[in-house]
Amino acid sequence: METQSKTHELAVYYNKENPFLSKLTDNYTLNKDGSSKDTRHISLCLKGSGIDYIPGDSLYIFPENDTALVNELLDTLELSKEREDEAISFTREINITRPSSKLFKLIAEKLDLDAKELQEKYNGYHSLAIIKDIKKDYPDFKISSNELAENSSKANPRAYSIASSLKAHPESVELCIARVDEEINGQKILGLCSNYISDRVAMGEASVRVYIHKNDRFRLPEDPKTKVIMIGPGTGIAPFRAFLEERNALRDSGQEVGADWLFFGDQREAYDYLYGEELESYREKYSLKVDLAFSRDQDYKIYVQDKMRENSAELFKWLEEGAHFYVCGDARRMAKDVDQALKDIITEHGKDAEEYVKLLKEQKRYSRDVY
């Protein structure tokens, strides 16, 4: 009991104001060659931290800007004094990849231009690219490092759903991260945190600033004998990998655990079946029920909500038996479509969908981790 108390105190101690310096111990691409995506499996060491977490929790990572980009920016600002302090600030504190509306307003005021038009023109540009392009037309344009810093957004920590159980990976935490790499307005857009952790962190170096966010609204059932239904396409698989590791560890210890049902989807099975080998082994060893929806493997699109409807009768039967229903992933489309499919299934079986879903939520049997 005393050990648990000390561990809890240490876990609380590491927070946004005082993050833990973790080591990157694993970093590999989950997609196979031929995929249009780059989804990374990331493992970070928590040894000696006393940090604990529960499946359903998130890990916050503080991103850092590319040092080469920062140095070029400081050169462009013609900064000579306090260079070292400014380099640290612009590397760790200021978001120079996604300019803020305040920055466009400041530039517009300096040049007597329209801020909205500037923002539209430079959509997709990072701060350095904007300054360099403006200097072509306005050679006398100047902006100080203080002005840039004060009118930029902060490089805030980014939350990722934890994809591991401490029962399976003591003293480490694992994540499933989609590396953002796209193009807007002819400019290459790189996600600040996903590219930092994927490409710019040296293996084994205690440099990644992290802290745990407890999520008591996304928890496995208190009774492990309860069935669980998990809807997690793409990186939405993350917390459900943690759920499965936790429940499989209980099974291995001899405990009775209810059935697990996972709905997973992505683009192509041959390239994008994230953690596919693990999940297939769980089918064999632990009777995991898996329904897969790969949208581009046929002429028509198939999504996880379509698979739910295909299994309407059994899914409703599980709910009637007390199963907990979980959703993780895109809030704008997937989560809404899944919610509608769930309500359609409930209605199909003669129940009032709104009342049924309301009761599920009141009983904490319908949980969402969406973003």
**Within a domain: residue 219?**
no
- Domain count of the chain? 3
**DSSP character for 236?**
G
Give the domain range for residue 106.
67-150
**Within a domain: residue 223?**
no
134 and 111 share a domain? Answer: yes
Q: Which pLDDT tens digit goes with each residue over 159-172? A: 999 999 999 999 99
Q: Which pLDDT tens digit goes with each residue over 233-285? A: 999 999 999 999 999 999 999 999 999 999 999 999 999 999 999 999 999 99
258 and 333 share a domain? Answer: yes
Q: Which pLDDT tens digit goes with each residue over 44-67? A: 999 999 999 999 999 999 999 999
Measuring CA to CA, which residue among 301, 299, 279 is closest to residue 290? 279
231 is written with which tokens?
């809807």
- Write the CATH number for 323: 3.40.50.80
Taking residues 133-150, report their average pLDDT: 95
Measuring CA to CA, which residue among 103, 199, 101, 218 is closest to residue 159? 218
313 is written with which tokens?
């009768």
The pTM for the full model equals 0.93
- Write the CATH number for 20: 2.40.30.10
Measuring CA to CA, which residue among 301, 237, 240 is closest to residue 268? 301
Supply φ then ψ for residue 116, to 5 degrees: -65, -40
Bridge partners, 325 (sequence order): 229, 366
Supply φ then ψ for residue 294, to 5 degrees: -105, 110
Helix locations, 215-303, DSSP H: 238-252, 269-272, 276-286
Query: Exposed, middle or buried by CB within 10 Å (0-12, 13-18, 19+), for 148?
Result: buried
318 and 171 share a domain? Answer: no
142 and 238 share a domain? Answer: no
Taking residues 7-19, report their average pLDDT: 70
